[in-house]
Amino acid sequence: MSNKPEQTVSVIEKTSGSADLYNHFENEKEEICGLIERLVEIESPTGDVKASSLIADLIEKELSVLGNCRIERIAAEGYGEHLIARLKEDAKRQILLIGHSDTVHPIGTKAKNPTRKENGKFYGCGIFDMKANIGMLIAALKHIYQNETADAPGVMLYLSCDEEAGSPTGRDIVERLAAEAKICLVFEPSLNGRAKTERKGTSFYTVRAEGLAAHAGLEPERGANALAELAMQVEKIHSLASVEKGTTVNVCTFKSGTAANVIPDRAELTVDVRFTQMAEARRIDEEIRKLMPSNTKITLRIEGGINRPPLERTASENLYQKAKALASELGFELEEARVGGASDGNFAAAVGAQVLDGLGIHGDGAHTLEEYIFIDDIPKRAALTAGLILQC
């Protein structure tokens, strides 16, 4: 985990309306922490169908106190259950709130990173990415819709069960809901407390080589070395990157071989591509699919393709300015960041929705055994979330 600075103390005074919101969530902080702990304690790694259902059960139970809330649970084969909660469905204004209930840690990991509070930090597996933000969202929705705020918009809360796997079954849902709502707030973790106004798009590929096995000592000439072939392809693949255009291309895994004295007849590598422009995504896609083996006895097979389009700042600008002004009223500065990682917000932007990402609670250590959030940031982010929902 990187050594990043602790939260800074703001010197901006809260305005009266925002102070009311902040004070409400400050008073509710321990209750919100209790809900966050229950969410974190249900370990829900991507692909664990039983765990996904358990976390959906808890979320549905918490939201069921809102009489105007309709819950839809969508089975995703091999992953679990997506959850959609709809509030004020008859409202003309509709906002899409996006998050995910899956984490990257396998069942049992909480023994290595137990859920606990230490020195103003709240630790736990998946707490930063992004169980704490689900708890915070539920608290914000309860405050708005239990009080039946007259000018509150309709809300669609979508929690995916396969986001960490690239949303193979959730993408269509995101695109459908985003096209309906036109405004989308994404509660992925913040980056050093900053909102994410730009995200790179992603592509993933698997390149497989099929050659011929042979005894490495007796007759290696009869073989066709799949490992050696892919090793030569690595340099070609890496050369496709463009520093000037912000395009990165990296071979990330390499598998081959059965024994130390056998010419390998099978090999595969994976490629991670990040880009800021769809034109770059298409260029890389075309070039990777044109890869040809140097050995005519070997066949190359290309799998994968473009996964998420980029989230460009033009899709985030208006919402960011609203959030920045609200944060100022709440007594803190909300900065912005461009990041290489993608989220379901990329899909929402691609269908024309306004999108603001990275609205989660300040913390650090995503996907590590030292994952945490700052406890004192909970009421600020909950107040910002409630204020944004009411203003959008």
**H or E element, residue 24:** helix 16-27
The phi-psi region of residue 255 (left if phi > 0; otherwise alpha if psi is between -120 and 50; otherwise beta) is beta
CA–CA separation, 143 and 386 (whole Å): 8
Q: Hey, what are 74's tokens?
A: 């969508």
Q: Hey, what are 11's tokens?
A: 């010197």
Q: Concatenate the DSSP letters of all residues of 284-320 into one string.
A: HHHHHHT---SSTT-EEEEEEEEEE--B-GGGTHHHH
CA–CA separation, 210 and 153 (whole Å): 56
Name the DSSP class of 15. Answer: P
Q: What is the mean pLDDT of residues 250-272?
A: 97
What pLDDT shows up at residue 7? 47
**H or E element, residue 378:** helix 378-391
Q: Hey, what are 218's tokens?
A: 């007796």
Express each pLDDT in 36-58 by its tens digit: 999 999 999 999 999 999 999 99
Residue 304 has pLDDT above 80, yes or no: yes
| Average pLDDT taken over every residue of the chain | 94
Q: Hey, what are 266's tokens?
A: 């099978």
Q: Hey, what are 47's tokens?
A: 């692909």
What pLDDT shows up at residue 49? 98
Peptide bond connecting 130 to the previous residue in cis, omega within 30 degrees of 0: yes
CA–CA separation, 361 and 195 (whole Å): 10
In which residue are the tokens 């909102």 written? 195
Q: Hey, what are 49's tokens?
A: 């169908």
- Let me know how many helices (H) and strands (E) the chain has, helices first: 10, 18
Beta bridge partners of 158: 84, 98
Residue 4 has pLDDT above 80, yes or no: no
Q: Is 119 exposed, middle or buried (0-12, 13-18, 19+ CB in 10 A)?
A: exposed
Express each pLDDT in 175-209 by its tens digit: 999 999 999 999 999 889 999 999 999 999 999 99
Residue 149 has pLDDT above 90, yes or no: no
Kind of pairing between the strands at 154-160 and 80-87: antiparallel
Q: What is the mean pLDDT of residues 3-26?
A: 66
Phi then psi dihedrals of residue 210, to 5 deg? -120, 115
Express each pLDDT in 230-255 by its tens digit: 999 999 999 999 999 999 999 999 99
CA angle, 308 then 107 then 46, to 5°: 20
Task: pLDDT band for 95, please (50, 70, 90 cuts).
Answer: very high
